Structure 1
Amino acid sequence: MASSYSFDVVSQVDMQEVDNAINQALKEINQRYDFKNSKVEIELGEEEIKLLADDEFKMDAVIDILKAKLIKRGVSPKALDLGKIEKASMGSVRQIAKIVKGISKEKAKEIVQEIKSSKIKVQAQIMENQLRISGKDKDDLQAAIALLKGKDFGIELQFTNYR
Structure 2
Amino acid sequence: MASTYSFDIVSDFDRQELVNAIDQTQREVKTRYDLKTTDTEIELGEDNITINTDSEFTLQTVHTVLQQKAVKRNLSLKIFDYGKIESASGSRVRQVITLKKGISKEIGKDITKLLRDELKKVQGSIQGDAVRVSSKSKDDLQEAIALIKNQDWPVALQFTNYR
Output the TM-score relative to the length of structure 2.
0.96
Number of residues of Structure 1 aligned to a counterpart in Structure 2: 163
1:29-108 alignment to 2 at 5 Å? 29-108=29-108
Question: How many Å separate the matches in 1 of 2:90 and 2:118?
Answer: 54
Q: Is the 8 A contact 1:12 1:158 kept in 2?
A: yes
Question: How many Å separate the matches in 1 of 2:113 and 2:63?
Answer: 33
Question: How many Å separate the matches in 1 of 2:119 and 2:7?
Answer: 18
Question: How many Å separate the matches in 1 of 2:93 and 2:118?
Answer: 45
Question: What is residue 122 of structure 1 aligned with on the other side?
Answer: 122
Aligned-partner residue type, residue 122 of structure 1: V
Q: Residue 151 of structure 1: SS of its match in structure 2?
A: coil
Q: Is the 8 A contact 1:120 1:140 kept in 2?
A: no
Question: What is residue 111 of structure 2 aligned with on the other side?
Answer: 111
CA displacement at 1:162 relative to structure 2: 0.6
**Root mean square deviation of aligned Cα:** 1.1
Q: Which runs of 5+ in 2 are unaligned?
A: none
Aligned-partner residue type, residue 128 of structure 1: G
Which consecutive aligned stretches of 4+ in structure 1 deviate over 6 angstroms post-superposition? none
Output the TM-score relative to the length of structure 1.
0.96
Question: How many Å separate the matches in 1 of 2:38 and 2:87?
Answer: 16
Q: Is the 8 A contact 1:120 1:143 kept in 2?
A: no
Question: How many Å separate the matches in 2 of 1:128 and 1:141?
Answer: 21
Aligned-partner residue type, residue 119 of structure 1: L
Aligned-partner residue type, residue 141 of structure 1: L
Aligned-partner residue type, residue 147 of structure 2: L
Question: What is residue 133 of structure 1 aligned with on the other side?
Answer: 133
Question: How many Å separate the matches in 2 of 1:104 and 1:95?
Answer: 24
Q: Residue 23 of structure 2: SS of its match in structure 1?
A: helix
